[in-house]
Structure 1
Amino acid sequence: MSSGSSSSVTNGLHPHPDVSDHINHVSHLNGFADPSPHNQKIIDYLYNYGFQRGEYADTVLHVHQNVYRLHAIILSRSPFLVQLLSTSPQVQVGVPRTIYVPVEREPEVTQEGFAIAVGYLYSSVSLRLIRPENARAVLAAGCMLGGMDDLCELAYATCKRSISVDTIGAWLEFVDAIPPSSSGAETPGPDLSPIRIYGPYVQRLRDDVFHFLVVTLPNILEIHATPSEGTPTTPENGREVLLQVFSRIPFDMFKAAVESPNFQIGSDQTRFKFAKEAIEARRRGIARGLEETVVLAFGGGNFGTSAVHVTRKTRKRPLWKVNS
């Protein structure tokens, strides 16, 4: 049989030329091959009977303490899973292939996050399951599995919206786990931080947390300067909340936030006083054993830069002289 005749066969079907022309024509309509409800019925069936019930499964997937009965043709949509499939040959014809997903080094990938991500391989209905409470785990699972940009973008957007006064503590812990030199471009590996599983989303999330601290949080707490005097007008409890938050920020972000021109809480003197109080609170907590200081520069030597400067160094141990 010639190569031309064999290439026209798809799973034993010989499509009629008119049918092929119709498919080629409608494939350019907003990216959909067929705008009829038929495709949606197929997707719904795959999700309900294929993913949720595991009917006619040819692959058994183990992850965490869960066992999934799935389908290799669907799993092959994920670059990560297709590699596992290729390295886990079928032991016996007619017996489902077994694969194990190693997540021991990926604590950000939770059971719920993985279930939503792998369900997305079957249907976009999984997008409806993303909530602020699980968005970061879904994003981690989506980045690990690969091939699901829409899921990752929605999970990321949900993460961004979830940054608030109530959740900032958890997000600061997340930021603190990011290596200082991380660009977010590295591939997760055994010697790298588990946070790097997020790929390019690492830096985006870090920037979002920073923007919340510098711009959004002072606005929420109604901390701003009056146009005439440059002095802060804010409820006293709002300033206390801001101090509490800044007392827990990793140093590199604390320094960048205090020195940022977008941190508009008053005059340079006001920012200096705020930083000094925050450093005192940090000395009793996150900066214990370290020496953080803030200085206020005067004169024209700091044109174009912040007049408030924060530094940090290890506190020197006192030297004891031993008399003979």
Structure 2
Amino acid sequence: MLPNTQTSIQSGSHSAEASEDSSIAAGSRTGSFQSSGGGGTGDSSIGESQNQSGNKNDHGLSILTQLFETGFQRGDYHDIVLHTPSRSYRLHRLLLSASPLLRPQLFHGPDIFVSFDSSPAITEEGFAISLGHLYSTFSTHFLESPHEEIQSLQSARLFRSVLASAVLLGSMDDLASLALEKCLLSISAPTILDWVEALTPAHLMSYGPYGQPIKAAVEHYLASTLPREGGAETSEPSKELVEVYSRLPFELFKSSIESASFPGSDRSIFAFTKNIISQRLPFLSPNSGTLSSHTEENVVLSFGAKKGGSNVFVTRKGGRKERGLWKVG
């Protein structure tokens, strides 16, 4: 359940009652925030850690647990209300002051507002995890998932939401670095097209300095890892590989094929590319960022030696004129 979210708020109220909870995401594979009954992030290891006798950090851990459960999850003794596009959180100025984004707003009344307009990757679930990080590191528990789930669409979207939220709130390098690590691990055949859509200029800006590592990882996966795993060198590449390449925006399709990292000989790359081009037409539309009905793609095999890459080139021209000027080797 989301921490201390509420559907109606009385400004200036300092009630210690727990507010109405809303789920982070229906069926979330990460578990849920618990608003009452203890348990914090739902991880029994927190309680086990507290019971370890002789641990010099017991007192500090107890304080952090109190801050997270009572302060963040329940919103007790709050002195400010933070509003997002769809939720409200009862929080505490002292802890919010660690955020460069929120700090200037803390002296202007009982309510502050955060917009996600400039950060298209942010979801309410990811923002809640990053917001909870201002209280303690317990919320990072929600980034942990079994290996087979890391490369799911739901996980990939959560990881980049947490990353963008950490960048937006500011001064969360540790959380942002962890989220980046998870983002890179989530790049896979089932998620790659979703990641391609998340590389728009607005998305990259929302990732801050972590945008370029993500872009480079996506490009490397497309140009090297995926074609190797999908058998691009063979006469029967995998359906996943064909589907991904059939749907790629033209510039990314071109750069991947022409990359020095793309596996195979010039002739096998040429054969693969020719097959993909024939498969791309059903997925193309004027607004897809690839081809319009008046655009033509071709693959050219050059027989001159080229250093640092293959001799296969992907070309595109607009309109249907001058067909005789295009030669396919």
Scaled by the length of structure 2, what TM-score is found?
Answer: 0.70
Instruction: Kindly indicate whether the alpha-carbon contact (under 8 Å) linking 2:261 and 2:309 is maintained by their aligned counterparts in 1.
Output: no
Shift of 1:233: 4.4
Matching residue of 1:202: 211
Q: Which runs of 5+ in 1 are unaligned?
A: 1-33, 91-96, 180-192, 225-231, 319-324
* Cα separation, 1, equivalents of 2:296 and 2:105: 49
* Cα separation, 2, equivalents of 1:46 and 1:152: 21
* Cα separation, 1, equivalents of 2:121 and 2:308: 40
Matching residue of 2:303: 298
Shift of 1:304: 4.0
- Cα gap change, 1:82 to 1:276, in 2 (>3 Å): same
Matching residue of 2:169: 145
Q: Kindly report which structure 2 residues correspond to 1:126-137, keeping only aligned pairs within 5 A, or say none.
A: 126-130=139-143, 132=150, 133=155, 134-137=158-161
- Cα gap change, 1:119 to 1:306, in 2 (>3 Å): same
* Cα separation, 1, equivalents of 2:321 and 2:116: 42
* Cα separation, 1, equivalents of 2:308 and 2:136: 52
Matching residue of 1:270: 268
Instruction: Kindly indicate whether the alpha-carbon contact (under 8 Å) linking 1:138 and 1:152 is maintained by their aligned counterparts in 2.
Output: yes
* Cα separation, 2, equivalents of 1:303 and 1:102: 49
Q: Kindly report which structure 2 residues correspond to 1:79-228, keeping only aligned pairs within 5 A, or say none.
A: 79-86=100-107, 89-90=108-109, 97-130=110-143, 132=150, 133=155, 134-175=158-199, 178-179=200-201, 193-221=202-230, 223=231
Scaled by the length of structure 1, what TM-score is found?
Answer: 0.71
Aligned residue type for 1:293: N
Aligned residue type for 1:67: S
Matching residue of 2:89: 68
Name the larger-Rg structure: 1
Shift of 1:291: 2.0
CA deviations 1:228-274 (Å, max 9, x no partner) are xxxx447x3x433322211111222211110112111x210110111
- Cα gap change, 1:303 to 1:115, in 2 (>3 Å): closer
Shift of 1:196: 1.6
* Cα separation, 2, equivalents of 1:317 and 1:254: 23
Output the aligned Cα RMSD. 2.2
Instruction: Give the counterpart of 1:51 among 67, 72, 77.
Output: 72
Instruction: Give the counterpart of 1:308 among 295, 312, 315.
Output: 312
* Cα separation, 1, equivalents of 2:315 and 2:234: 28
Q: Secondary structure at the match of 2:101?
A: helix
* Cα separation, 2, equivalents of 1:167 and 1:317: 38
* Cα separation, 1, equivalents of 2:178 and 2:208: 15
Shift of 1:110: 0.8
* Cα separation, 1, equivalents of 2:174 and 2:140: 9
Q: Secondary structure at the match of 2:131?
A: helix
Instruction: Kindly indicate whether the alpha-carbon contact (under 8 Å) linking 2:234 and 2:268 is maintained by their aligned counterparts in 1.
Output: no
* Cα separation, 2, equivalents of 1:298 and 1:276: 17
Q: Secondary structure at the match of 1:109?
A: coil
- Cα gap change, 1:271 to 1:241, in 2 (>3 Å): same
Bigger relative CO (Cα 8 Å, ≥ 6 apart) = 2
* Cα separation, 2, equivalents of 1:271 and 1:143: 40
Question: Identity rate of aligned residues, in percent?
Answer: 42
Aligned residue type for 2:265: S
